[in-house]
Structure 1
Amino acid sequence: MKFCFRKNIILAICYLYVLMLVYAATSKLLDFETFKIQLGQSPLLSSFTDWIAIIVPASEFSIAALLLIPRFRFIGLFTSYLLMVLFTAYIYIILNYSAFVPCSCGGILEKMTWNQHLVFNIIFIVFAIIAFLLTTEHPQFFKHKNLKL
């Protein structure tokens, strides 16, 4: 019974990530020009705006797909975690070391303050860590042929 509970927690976390990643990528693409302009205003990213404007939403969709495919779910969870750590580090650097704080988020996330966004990201990082802890306690979870996460 414990194992099923852990599996459901891991699945819930993965699906939350899928929802967040697909939403974020879609909102960026729906207002692509604004997203690109806002990226260009970033003191850290302006030199790479054209590349990042394509790579970020593509990565978000790709990671969401990995999370939906049981065989690749652990890789998707790990890359989701890394992406959130990178976004969180970026927000922290912008908040503490930049005079200008551009926002290149879309949709609901754009309505958040930078501090709220930082907390939001940290919560998702904690979710990923919880999923890792639940998975590493049962490494056979990903090895069993008939068990799909």
Structure 2
Amino acid sequence: MSHKGIYSKLITLFSLLLTLLFVYTAVSKLMHLDIFQLRVERMPYIASYATVISWAVPFVELVIAGLLWFARYRTLALYASLVLLGSFTTYIIIILRYSNSIPCSCGGVISALGWKDHVILNISFMVLSLLGILWSKKHYNIHTNQNTVQ
């Protein structure tokens, strides 16, 4: 099997894993929207945006999850995944560093994780997003070079 085939399969696997993460977290938030919004209202620095955040975050997660399955938009969705996960991870790190009170706004099984575990989980998914981006570009370059050589 060529490297091109392996990269393509790994990108598909990463897209599946990211989709599972985003759909799970979005559905969990939407099923308990009132609780999610209440938790966001108690979070430092973003409390005043709780209503917008409580609707926007699950919406964005679902959009990204959907875009991951359209080849045309996959790289964009991988970038969006990286930005969303990076933003949340940065926020967690800032809160861990500068705040005494850190309420969790996650739902389901993920809410059982500690904050440091959240950071590790997010960084792991960020690595998958980044590898997907890099390998998508490599895959694109392989196709472009094959088309120009012939």
What TM-score, normalized to structure 2? Answer: 0.91
Q: Shift of the alpha carbon at 1:133? A: 2.1
Write the distance in 2 (CA, Å) between the matches of 1:96 and 1:120: 18
Paired letter, 1:64: A
State the structure with more CA Rg: 2
Residue in 2 aligned with 1:85? 86
Q: What's the CA shift string for 1:92-118, capped at 9, x where partnerless?
A: 011111111010001111000001011
User: Gaps (5+ residues) in structure 2?
Assistant: 145-150
Residue in 2 aligned with 1:131? 132
Write the distance in 1 (CA, Å) between the matches of 2:78 and 2:131: 11
Write the distance in 1 (CA, Å) between the matches of 2:51 and 2:67: 25
Write the distance in 1 (CA, Å) between the matches of 2:98 and 2:134: 33
Q: Shift of the alpha carbon at 1:31? A: 0.9
Q: Shift of the alpha carbon at 1:142? A: 7.5
Residue in 2 aligned with 1:101? 102
Bigger mean CA deviation after superposition, 63-72 or 20-29: 63-72
The sequence identity of aligned pairs, in percent, is 34
| Alignment: residue pair count | 144
Residue in 2 aligned with 1:122? 123
Write the distance in 2 (CA, Å) between the matches of 1:80 and 1:130: 12
What TM-score, normalized to structure 1? Answer: 0.91
Q: Shift of the alpha carbon at 1:65? A: 0.8
Residue in 1 aligned with 2:59? 58
CA contact (8 A) 2:78 2:130 kept: no
Write the distance in 2 (CA, Å) between the matches of 1:73 and 1:134: 12
Does 2:31 align with 1:30?
yes
- Alignment RMSD: 1.5
